[in-house]
Each structure stands twice: as structure tokens, then as C-alpha cells.
């Protein structure tokens, strides 16, 4: 049987973390395939270059740390006019902080963005008035969701919790044939990674690079898997965690 290309034309996809890195890369790829994209992020100026025909890109400036206001985003007439075919939860932040400095407020802030905002978006998305049957949800976890690293207690905890959400939600939403999966990248060359590397010694950067047998990843190494999970080609895949890490996790 011949394999068909991912057909995303005309699909209506909401993407968080749309202003930079992997999230922006996903938006660009979806738009290039004819999807309608609703992007959520904090800085609209970072997506000013996403000008596509027929107003296929709608940007909603919002700080997802404000969990209580998320449902209001769905009251936007431009969002509500068409049910969603997909949800990509890419917003998040990485922190390296010694355990002795991890106080309550810092942990809460990390969980708000990396986990709680995603659960709230999934809760709203799961309502029949906002999403279609046979739709797809893609959470971003990390190889750190299964592996540990010094100074990343909070980050590892949030990414591990994401996998628990995927396991449970995939079963709960299966009655509507809604698929819920996770992708877990290793270190990918993004603005966030560049900022992190700028704070490290050359020796530490080299150590991180050497932990990836195939080298540091690029945005284009991650995006195709996300597009596949959003497409109908993945209609029998749910509750999975797909690692895209250049071999980091097999060592």
C-alpha cells in the first residue's frame, strides 16, 4: 500500500509557544501546508513575519501563567468560528536551579507554564463545542521527563507530569477518537538553548553536545513528527511518548 503525505490542508490547529523556537517552526510548517493556525504567545512582534494568504494565521497575545483567563481566549469570535482539529502545547520554560534554592513561588511558576496551562487548555479543548471528533493533541514533554539531571528537579518534575496527563487523557478522550500524544525532544538549537549555552562554560556546552550521539537537534528535526501526529495518518496512535533526542536517552 502506498503511503500518503500528511494532509493538513484546511485543518484548524491551535499552537502555544508560537513566537519562537519549535513552536514557531510548527506554525510555519502548518501554514505552508494550508492549515489555519491560531498561535498563542506573549510577544506579537516575534510573529510579524508570519503573513500568509487568506488570513490563515491568528495570533492571540497571552501569558499562559495566568491560568484563570485561558478559557476567555476561546470566546474570541475568530477562534470560536470553527472547531479545532488539533492542539499543540509547546509553551514552556527550562530552569537549572540548585535544589536548595527551589522555593514555592519558583516551583509554582514553572508548573503553571509547563503543566497547568496545558491541562486547562486540554480541558477546554475537550468540550464538543470547541473540538472535532478524531482530532489530535500533542504535548511537549522532554527526555528530562524520564531522565534526571542535577539542578533540574522542577523542570524534570513538570515534564514527567506531562506524561501522566497524556496517559490518562488519551484513555478518557478515546470515546471521541481524540488522540493525545507527547513528543520528548533532547536539546534543540533554539533561542532558549542559545541563552542557556551563553551562561555555561565551553566545557559544559561540549559535555551537553557529547551527550547527544547524533549531535544537537535542529527545529526541523522535531517538526515533522508533530505534523504526522496532527495528521489523519496517525489515527491509530494515542497515549504515546515519542522521543526525538539524537540518541540522548539510550545511553
Catalytic residues: 155
29: cell is: 510548517
Pairing of strands 36-41, 12-16: parallel
Sign of CA dihedral 164, 105, 44, 23: negative
* DSSP H/E element including 79: helix 77-80
Coil, helix or strand for 237? coil
| Cβ neighbours of residue 130 closer than 8 Å, sequence gap 6 or more | 74, 80, 83, 84, 124
Cross-strand pairs, 180: 137
CA separation for the pair 25, 8 (Å, rounded):
15
CA separation for the pair 139, 246 (Å, rounded):
19
Sign of CA dihedral 134, 116, 247, 241: negative
Nearest CA to 126 among 169, 165, 78, 168?
A: 169
Amino acid at each position: 500500500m502506498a503511503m500518503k503525505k500528511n494532509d493538513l490542508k484546511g485543518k484548524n490547529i491551535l499552537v502555544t509557544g508560537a513566537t519562537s523556537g519549535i513552536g514557531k517552526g510548527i506554525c510555519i510548517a502548518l501554514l505552508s501546508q494550508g492549515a489555519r493556525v491560531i498561535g498563542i504567545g506573549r510577544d506579537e512582534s516575534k510573529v510579524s513575519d508570519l503573513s500568509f494568504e487568506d488570513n490563515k494565521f491568528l495570533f492571540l497575545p497571552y501569558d499562559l501563567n495566568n491560568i484563570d483567563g485561558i478559557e476567555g481566549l476561546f470566546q474570541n469570535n475568530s477562534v470560536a468560528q470553527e472547531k479545532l482539529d488539533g492542539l499543540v502545547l509547546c509553551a514552556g520554560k527550562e530552569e537549572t536551579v540548585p535544589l536548595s534554592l527551589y522555593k514555592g513561588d519558583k516551583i509554582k511558576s514553572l508548573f503553571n507554564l509547563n503543566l497547568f496551562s496545558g491541562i486547562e487548555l486540554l480541558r477546554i479543548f475537550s468540550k464538543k463545542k470547541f473540538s472535532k471528533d478524531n482530532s489530535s493533541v500533542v504535548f511537549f514533554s522532554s527526555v528530562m521527563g524520564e531522565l534526571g539531571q542535577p539542578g533540574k528537579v522542577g523542570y524534570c518534575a513538570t515534564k514527567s507530569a506531562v506524561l501522566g496527563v497524556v496517559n490518562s487523557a488519551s484513555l478518557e478522550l478515546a470515546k471521541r477518537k481524540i488522540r493525545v500524544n507527547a513528543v520528548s525532544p533532547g536539546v534543540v538549537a533554539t533561542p532558549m538553548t542559545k541563552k542557556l549555552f551563553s551562561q555555561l562554560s565551553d566545557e559544559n556546552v561540549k559535555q551537553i553536545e557529547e551527550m547527544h550521539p547524533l549531535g544537537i537537534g535542529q527545529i526541523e528535526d522535531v517538526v515533522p513528527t508533530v505534523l504526522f501526529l496532527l495528521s489523519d495518518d496517525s489515527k491509530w496512535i494515542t497515549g504515546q511518548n515519542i522521543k526525538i533526542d539524537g540518541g540522548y536517552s539510550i545511553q
